[in-house]
Structures are given as structure tokens and as C-alpha cells.
Amino acid sequence: MKNIIFAIFIFTSMLCNAQNYSFVPDSLRLISYEELMKNPPSNVESVYYENGTLTTLEEVIPLVMQKKLTPQMFIDKDGNHKILVVVKAEVKTENTTIVYEGIPETLKKLGYSFGNSKSDTILLISQGGPFPRLFTDEVKAIFKDNGGIDENKYFIINSHQAQTIEPQMMLEKEISFEQAKMVGIKTSEMLNELVSYFKSENKKVFVVGISYGCFAGQDFISKFGNIADGYLLMAGRLDINEEVWRAYSEGIDAGFKEDAISPKVEQKGEDLMYINSHKIAAAYGYKRYSELLKNTDLSNLIYYHALKDLNVGKLTANEIEFLNTKGAKVIGFDDVHTAWRKNLKEALELLLAK
């Protein structure tokens, strides 16, 4: 669970005006959003509300996800993450739409865009998670700063997922596994609508799926065929262990031991967002994509996987062999799940060179 929590902060942290907190030593420094992304936290000693009340990551995460709170990270002189302070977020109206001339109103609402809308190349992103909101400025910063994307050259869209359009489903009550499966179906359908539309506009369309978005990307291919021009899928699995997806399907936290091979099942938490997030993830995870994609040419797919992935586990020899036999380019990086950011620039260069 800790890895998921920190992943959320990496995506949602924005720099506010620094304040002097009596409970934060003068020796600590508030870091910027860019610094946080370049050096994701592995541990935080203390979490506070801005009035000095101690709290926990588990308590504040849902409020951060709803943009009611904004996190500020303080580090020591050695760069260690020491104190996290969550402050009341400023009300901000976001233009969470796809800004593209002539796009139908129904499709306009299926994502957030930036870059050159006149470009002949579309980069269609499916974000990690599953989280209850669509990341906008955060994804823009990651793909520009970590990915080195030239927004004058490409048109970039972060596509909505079913639960980001209807976030209340994750926050109000526990959903069933069957309901979670419907979320996955809708997310893949929305991705197909966007790919199909921009292909009809004679655009070159590349799909980028990160973590949960990796599962969404491969599910899209399995349902609608290999219709995009290329794919970059990072930090996912084709056939995740049954013990893990079954635990997730019941809202129970699970992952992998230090070998990134052996499953580790923990216990069901109390927070609805986490419970429902696990179930929605399992709605893709229970599928066997090596079977679903066995008749599909994947020569336009680049698949990055973490060798120390404690979230979804590292690819097995069978999964790697399958991808190789289908023509995919498989690249392993000797790091943890969230380290895909360090490889994003290299990966995008490979993708866009196609």
C-alpha cells in the first residue's frame, strides 16, 4: 500500500506558497513539484495538517485526490523526505477537455489535452491508478520534464477512465467486482473512441499506458484490435498472479515480496477509495492477456517492465517470450515500479521514432 500512496503524491503534488510552520524545523526545505518528481519519496517521517495536527497518509490521500488538500514536502540537507504538510487547496477551475477543432462534443469530454492540436501525431495517454480523477497539469509536467516531450511538435491527450468521469463510484460506497468489470469495459471503450476518431482524422496515433493504464492499453488491443500506430506500455503485466488479482477483487491489498516474484497478500483496509481501486484494477488483472492477444501482431508495441516491481511483479520468462514471439520490443529496467519516470524519455524517443 505504501507504494501506491507515494505514487499518488508524485502525481498530485503541486507547489503552494511556502509558509512558516512552527512544527517544521528551519533546517528543512520545501521542495518544488519538479524536484519531487525527479526524486520520488521512499519514506516520510511525519504528516501534518497545516495547523500542526498530526495525521497519516491514509487519512489525507482521499482528500488530496478530491483536490481538497494540497501536499507540501519538506526535505533535509541530504535530500531525505522528512515532513509532509497538507494544506487547504485553492479552488481552481480546470479546462478538463480535449481542445481540438471540430471534435464532437461527446469526445471533447473524454480527456485533457495540451500541445499542438495541428500536429499530425497524437500521443494518447492512459494514466496509472486507478485513481478517482484525471491528472492534467501533473501529467503535462511529467511528460515535458521527465519525458522531454516537445509540445510544439505533438498533440498530447490524457484520456479519461470510467472512474475519473464518475469519481463518486470510488468514494461513496464499496462496489462489487462485477461493477468493477464494467468500469474496465467503459475505459477500454473510451480509449477506442479516441483512437478511432483521430485515425479517421488521418492522424498518427500512439498509445501510452502507465501501470493501470498499461492494462487498459493491452485490454483495448485485445477488444478492438491493433488499430493505433504504436504503443508504449510501462510497468504492467500480461498475466498477473491469480493470488494477487483475487485479493484485489475483494478489495484486499496485495503485492510482491522483494524478489518481485512471490505474491504477498495483506489485509482489507477501511478506506473506500483503496478498496474500490483494488477491485477496479482486478477487473483487468484477472484476464490472461497472453491468451487474449495470441492472434495479434504486436510488432508496434514497446513494453517496459521493472525488474524490482513489488506492485505488479516482474514479467515472467513466459510473458517475455510471448511478447517476443509477437514481435514486441521488451525492455526491462533494474528498478522499482514507480521508476518508469526515469525511463520515460528514452521510451518515448523509441516510440516516436516509429
* 97 within domain boundaries: no
State pTM to two decimals. 0.82
DSSP reduced 3-state for 207: strand
Considering the domain architecture, whether residues 20 and 55 belong to the same structural domain is answered as yes
Considering the domain architecture, whether residues 60 and 138 belong to the same structural domain is answered as no
Question: For 192-201, what is each residue's pLDDT tens digit?
Answer: 999 999 999 9
Domain count, the chain: 2
Assess whether pLDDT exceeds 60 at residue 9: no
Considering the domain architecture, whether residues 289 and 327 belong to the same structural domain is answered as yes
Considering the domain architecture, whether residues 45 and 84 belong to the same structural domain is answered as yes
Q: How many CB atoms lie within 10 A of CB 51?
A: 9
* 100 within domain boundaries: no
* 270 within domain boundaries: yes
Question: For 265-297, what is each residue's pLDDT tens digit?
Answer: 988 877 788 899 999 999 999 999 999 999 999
Q: Which domain holds residue 43?
A: 2-88
CB 229 within 8 A of CB 206: yes
> Looking at residue 41, what is its pLDDT?
64
Task: State percent of the chain over pLDDT 70.
Answer: 88
Report the CATH number at residue 292. 3.40.50.1820
Considering the domain architecture, whether residues 82 and 116 belong to the same structural domain is answered as no
> Looking at residue 43, what is its pLDDT?
65
Cα-based angle 293, 294, 300 (whole degrees, multiple of 5)? 60
Considering the domain architecture, whether residues 61 and 203 belong to the same structural domain is answered as no
Residue after which a domain boundary falls, among 35, 62, 88: 88
Assess whether pLDDT exceeds 90 at residue 12: no
* 94 within domain boundaries: no
155 or 133, which is more confident? 155
Considering the domain architecture, whether residues 47 and 190 belong to the same structural domain is answered as no
Q: What is the mean pLDDT of residues 37-52?
A: 75
Considering the domain architecture, whether residues 128 and 12 belong to the same structural domain is answered as no
Question: For 213-238, what is each residue's pLDDT tens digit?
Answer: 999 999 999 999 999 999 999 999 99
Beta-bridged to residue 209, according to DSSP, are: 126, 233
* 95 within domain boundaries: no
DSSP reduced 3-state for 116: coil
> Looking at residue 32, what is its pLDDT?
72
CB 347 within 8 A of CB 234: yes
| HSE of 200, CA atoms in CB hemisphere, 13 A | 9
* 81 within domain boundaries: yes
* 16 within domain boundaries: yes
**327: phi > 0 → left, psi -120 to 50 → alpha, else beta; which?**
left
Considering the domain architecture, whether residues 76 and 168 belong to the same structural domain is answered as no
CB 213 within 8 A of CB 127: yes
Considering the domain architecture, whether residues 54 and 186 belong to the same structural domain is answered as no
Question: For 65-102, what is each residue's pLDDT tens digit?
Answer: 666 777 888 888 888 888 888 887 655 545 689 999 99
Alpha-carbon distances, residue 275 vs 86, 281, 309 (angstroms): 23, 10, 21
Considering the domain architecture, whether residues 212 and 240 belong to the same structural domain is answered as yes
* 99 within domain boundaries: no
Residue after which a domain boundary falls, among 88, 115, 142: 88
Residue after which a domain boundary falls, among 41, 56, 88: 88
